[in-house]
Structure 1
Amino acid sequence: MAISARHLDKAFSGVHAVRDLSFDVRPGIVTGFLGPNGSGKSTTMRLMLHLVRGGGVTTFGGQRIDQLRRPLRTIGAVLDPAAHNPHRSARAHLRIFAAAAGMPASRADEVLDLVGLTHAASRSSGEFSLGMQQRLALAAALVGDPEYLILDEPANGLDPQGIRWLRDFLTARTDEGRTVLLSSHQLAEIAQTADEVIVLGRGEIVTQGLLRDFVDQFSHQQVLVRSPAVDRLAGCLKANDIGPFTATGTDGLLITGDVNTAQIGDLAGHYGITLHELSSHSSSLEEAFLEATAATTDYQGTA
C-alpha cells in the first residue's frame, strides 16, 4: 500500500518553510526525493514520522504513525547514521530495536548479516566508519521487517561497492512490493535506482512523477559534431540561425535547441564540410535537476 502525505507544513526548515506539500509514494518502486540543500527534504521526512511539529497528515497504508501499535513493524527510517550510543556494540544497539519492535533478540544478528556487518557485531559502534554507521542505521530500520522505508541520504560514506550493494538491496525490497522513499544528492545513483521522483525547491514541490518524464520535461536535446573545419561549420550554423552552440575541444561543437543529427548532417553536406563525428545527446538526470531547480538554489558559489 502507498504512503500518502497531505498538506505537510512547518513554519521553518533550514532556510525556507515547508509549505503545504502533498504527494503519494507508490509501492513496488523506489521514489527519489530530490532538492537543493535547505529545500526541506529532511524536515519533510521528519514531519511524516511525527519527529517535528507541523501541520498535515501522513498515512502508511491508510494509518497514521500514531495509530500503529508497533511502528517499527511497519516503517523503517534512516535519518541520522550517528544516532547510536558509541559505547554500545552493534549487536546490543540492534537488540534494543528488536525489543521495541516485538522481535526476538536473534533478529539483531539477522539484520547485521543482511547489511554485511556480522564481522563487526561485537565492536563498539563508536569505532565505525561513516559507511559502517550507515549500514548499522539501515540494519536498525530493517529490524521490524517493515513494509515502508524512508531513507535520508543512506549512501553517504559508502564506497562504490557499498553504493552498488545499496542499490541492489533497495531494488530487491521493491521487487517484494515494499515502498521506498529515498533522499539523495547522488543523482547518478538515483538515475539507476529510482522509478519516480519528487523534487523540492524552497519548501515547495517543483515537480513529481516518473523519472523519465522529469528528465524529458527539463532536458535539452543536444547534437555533438566534430570536424576538421569546425570554424567554417560554426559560421554556417550562425548563417542558418541554428543553435545556440558551444565549442568542445579543438574540433567540436555542442549544439542545443530544436535540432537533430539529420539536420546538421544535411547542412554539412550542403556546404561540403567533412564531419568526423555526429551524434545526439540527451540530458542526464543531473542536468535536468539543475535546470528544474535553478531558481530555487540558495547556495551558489563563484568559479
Structure 2
Amino acid sequence: MLQAIGLTSARHRGLSPAVDDLTFEAGSGCVTALLGAPGSGKTAALRLMLELEPGRGITYFRGRALHRVEQPAREVGVLLGDVQGHPVRTVRGQLRMLCAAAGVPASRADELLDTVGLAGLGDQRIGSLSLGMERRLALASALLGDPYTLILDEPTKGLAPREAAWLHGMLRSHAAGGGAVLYTTSDPKEAARSAGHVVSIDGGRLVADQGVADFSRTRLRPRVAVRSPHAARLAAVVSREARAARRSVEVVTEASGSRLSVYGSSCAEIGDTAFRHGLPVHQLADEIGEIGEIGDTGPVAERADSGAAPAATRGDGREADATGGGGSGAVPRPAANAAGPDLPPPIRRRAARGPLRPVRYELRRLFGVRTTALIMAVALVASAGISVLLARNGSTPLPNVLAAWPPLLPLPPAAFGAGLLGALSFGDEFRYPALAAGRGTVPRRLGLLLAKLAVSAGVALLLALLVVLASAASLRLVYGGDLIRMPPNVMSLAVSWSGLTVGCAWAGLLAAGLFRVTAAGVAAVLAVPVLMVPLVQRMPKASTARSVTGLPGRLRDLAWLQWPHETDRWLLAAMRVVAHPVGTALTLSLSVLICAYLFTSLRGRVRW
C-alpha cells in the first residue's frame, strides 16, 4: 500500500503551494488514478512523494519512507517524462545498463523486452523509436527491479487509443499480481475506464476520493449522442415529447449542427421518436460526459464537444467524501514532530543513489554507444599517419615518433582521445541522466567515481598500447623494420606514456564531473600543456641540496615489505615522470580537480 500524508510543496516568493495538505492512499491490487486538470498539482505531488522536490509531508511505501528503502528500484518503479538515455544507444543496451544500476541480472532486460512487446526492437536505437515504443521502453525501465509500486505521470499522453489501451492493460496486470499502481491523468473518462479508484485534486488540494463506481455515478453524466441530417427537427421533437411526458430531458446541439447530445434519455427512446416522425439517424450511441470543471461552484455546466479532453469535476465530490461515497477512508496523520504539532515532517530533496554494480554499469555505459569506438579509431588512424610523417626526416626521437607527438601539437592524439573519453564519462551522465531521472544531477558516490576512474584508466592504457603498436606497424610497413629499435630506457618511457594518457583521461573526467559539461573536461585536458606546463617551466629553479636517490629502498624498509627489485625501477621511473614539466603540470591539475570534486561532494551532502 502507498500512503501519502500531508503533502505540501515549498512556497516560492509568496505564491500558494502547488500541493497543499494532500492526503490519500493507493491500495494494493488496485489501479489508482490521480485526476486533475493541467496545473492542478498532479506532477508536483508525485515529485514530493518521490523526494524529488522539497516540501512537507511523508509518503509510506508499504510502511517505509523512500529514503529508508535500501534498494528503491525493487520497491518503486517510476515513469516521469521521456526515456533518459543516449539517443544512439540501443534498446537492449539501455536496459542492460540500467540492470547493472539496479543490481539485477542482465537477463532481466530480455525478459522485459518480451513483456512489453519490444523483443524484435532490441537492436533499435532509442532516438529512432516512435512515441508508443518509447513509452514501452520507459515502462520496461520502471519494471526492471520487479517493483511492488508503480508511479507514472501521464503515461498515455499523446498515445494512440490502441497503445493507451495496451498500457492500461499492463497496469491492471501489475495490480492483479498484488502490486499498487498510481498514475496521473486529466481525462475523467480514462480514469473511469482504467482505474479502480480515483483521487481528484484541484489547486493542489483533495476534492474527492472515490471508488470508480461512485466516481462514474456522481462525477460523470450519461448522455445519448445522436447524429442526423435533420438534427434541428429531431431536437425540437424530442424536447416537445419530453415536456408532454413531464420528463427532465435536455438537448444540446453541437457546433456542427448535425450532432445532438441528449441528457436524461436513452438510445431506445430517441430511436423510437425518430422512427415515428420519419427522421433519419446516422449515429445513436451512449456516452459519458463530465459535469463541469473542477472548482466550479456554480450550476452544473454541460459541455457540447464530447471529443475534447474533459477535466475532472467537483460536482458533489466533497459530499461524497463526507458521506463515505466510495472513499477509502481517512488516512491517519503522523504524530507530532520537531517541525511543530500540526505540521507534517519536512521533505528534503535527496541526492540520487549510485548504481549497485558501478563497474559493470560504467563498462556498459562506455561501450554501449559507438562514440567510444569512433574516438579510439580516429586516434589510431591519426597516430599512425603522424608517426609516418615524423619518421621521414629522421630527426624526431623514436619515442615521439611512436607516440605520434610532434612539437606543434599540445598533446598526442592518444592523450587527447583518452581525455575526451574521460570527459564524456561524466558529460553524458549530465546530458542524458539515466541514473537520476527527474533530479537534474548525477550521484556523487565514491563507488561510482572509483568505477569511472578505473574504467577510464583501463581504456586509456588500452588506447596507449594500441597507438604504439599501430605506429610501429605503420613504420615497419612503410620504412621497414630497421627503424624500430628497443630504447634502453623503455621502462621510463612506458611509465611516462601511460601516465600521460591516464592523467589526461582523469583530468577530463574530473573536470566534466565538477562543471557538469563535457566541454569543461576537454578544456581541462588542453589546459595542461597550454597553461600549466608553461607556468611550471617559468617557476624559479633553485639548486638542489638533497636527492631522493634510494627512496624505494627506504620505503621497502619502512613498510617491512620485500618487493622485487624491479619495482624499484618502476618507482624511480614514476618519480622521473612526475619531475618532468608535463608530469608536474598534470599532477598539479589532477590534485586541484580531486580536491574541488571532493569539496563540492561533501558540501552537497551537507546541504541535502
TM-score by length of 1: 0.78
Letter in 2 for 1:5: A
**Range with greater deviation from structure 2 (217-226 or 18-27):** 217-226
Q: Would the aligned equivalents of 2:92 and 2:123 in 1 still touch at CA under 8 Å?
A: yes
User: 1:82-140 CA deviation, whole Å, 9 max, x = no partner?
Assistant: 42222322222212321222201121221122111222222321222222211111111
- Is residue 83–residue 137 contact of structure 2 (8 Å, CA) maintained in 1? no
- SS in structure 1 of the partner of residue 20 of structure 2: strand
Q: Which residue of 2 aligns with 1:246?
A: 251
- Aligned partner of 1:153 in structure 2 is 154
Aligned counterparts, 1:190-209, within 5 A: 190-209=191-210
106-115 or 7-16, larger mean C-alpha shift = 7-16
SS of the aligned residue for 1:19 comes to coil
Q: Shift of residue 222 of structure 1? A: 5.7
Match of 1:3 in 2: 2
Deviation at 1:51, TM superposition (A): 1.0
1:77 positional shift: 0.7
In structure 2, stretches of 5+ residues that fail to align are: 280-284, 298-307, 309-608
Secondary structure of the 1:17 match is: coil
Counterparts of residues 284-299 of structure 1 (less than 5 Å):
284=288, 287-288=289-290, 291=292, 293=294, 295=296
1:111 aligns to what?
112
2:145 aligned counterpart, secondary structure: coil
Instruction: Provide the C-alpha distance between the structure 2 equivalents of 1:234 and 1:128, rounded to a whole number of angstroms.
Output: 52
Mean alpha-carbon deviation: is it higher for 93-102 or for 227-236? 227-236
Aligned length: 280
Q: Could you tell me how far 1:159 is from its partner in structure 2? A: 3.2
Contact 1:222 1:255 in 2 (8 A): yes
Moved more, 53-62 or 113-122: 113-122
- Report the structure number with the largest CA radius of gyration: 2
Give the match for residue 440 of structure 2: none
Taking a change above 3 Å as real, the CA distance of residues 74 and 245 of structure 1, as seen in their structure-2 partners, is same
State the 1:217 CA deviation: 1.6
What's 1:300 paired with?
none
- Assess, with a 3 A threshold, how the Cα gap between structure 1 residues 184 and 224 changes in structure 2: closer, same or farther: closer
Deviations 1:48-81 (A, max 9, x none): 1111111100010000110011000111010112
1:244-263 superposed Cα distances (whole Å, 9 cap, x missing partner): 6225578988354xxx78xx
Structure with the largest fraction of strand = 1
Q: Does 1:64 align with 2:65?
A: yes
**8 Å Cα contact 1:58/1:64 also seen in 2:** yes
* RMSD, aligned α-carbons: 3.6
Question: 1:192 offset after TM fit, Å?
Answer: 2.4
CA contact (8 A) 2:37 2:202 kept: yes
Q: Contact 2:223 / 2:261 at 8 angstroms: preserved in 1?
A: no
- Relative to structure 1, is the Cα distance of residues 250 and 19 closer, same or farther in structure 2, using a 3 angstrom cutoff? closer
Contact kept, 8 Å, 1:75 with 1:146, in 2: the verdict is yes
Change (3 A) 1:235 1:127: closer
1:151-190 residue pairs with structure 2 within 5 A?
151-190=152-191
Cα offset, 1:237, TM superposition? 5.0
**Gap change, CA 1:196 and 1:240, over 3 Å in 2:** same
Kept in 1, the 8 Å contact 2:225–2:262? The answer is: yes
Change (3 A) 1:59 1:125: same
Residue in 2 aligned with 1:127?
A: 128
Structure 1 residues without counterparts, runs of 5 or longer: 269-273, 297-302
User: How far apart are residue 295 of structure 1 and its match?
Assistant: 2.7
Q: State how far apart, in whole Å, the 1-side matches of 2:190 and 2:5 are.
A: 28
- Single out whichever of 198-207 and 80-89 deviates more from structure 2: 80-89
1:160 to partner: Cα distance: 3.4
Contact 1:33–1:198 under 8 Å retained in 2: yes
Distance verdict in 2 for CA 1:252–1:40, change over 3 Å = closer
**In structure 2, what residue type is equivalent to 1:34?**
L
Change (3 A) 1:11 1:254: same
Other structure's SS at 2:100 match? helix
For 2:277 and 2:145, how far apart are their aligned partners in 1? 60
Task: Describe the superposition over 1:204-244 as per-residue Cα deviations: whole angstroms up to 9, x where unpaired.
Answer: 11111101101212244668999988646645655887546
Q: CA–CA distance in 2 between the matches of 1:180 and 1:116?
A: 20
Question: Residue type of the partner of 2:262?
Answer: L
C-alpha distance in 1, partners of 2:55/2:26?
Answer: 20
* Partner SS for 2:178: coil
TM-score (structure 2 length as normaliser): 0.41
- What CA deviation, in whole Å up to 9, does each residue of 1:262-301 have, x standing for no partner? xx99xx9xxxxx6889xxx9872xx33x5251539xxxxx
Give the structure with the higher percent helix.
2
Distance 2:232 2:88 in 1: 64
Q: Distance in 2 between matches of 1:237 and 1:25?
A: 43
Relative to 1, partners in 2 of residues 1:233 and 1:124: Cα closer, same or farther, differing over 3 Å?
Answer: closer
Structure with the bigger RCO (C-alpha within 8 Å, sep 6+) is: 1
Q: Displacement, 1:161? A: 3.1
Matches within 5 A, 1:28-47: 28-47=29-48
Residue identity matched to 1:107:
R
- Distance 1:227-1:126 versus aligned 2 partners, 3 A rule: closer
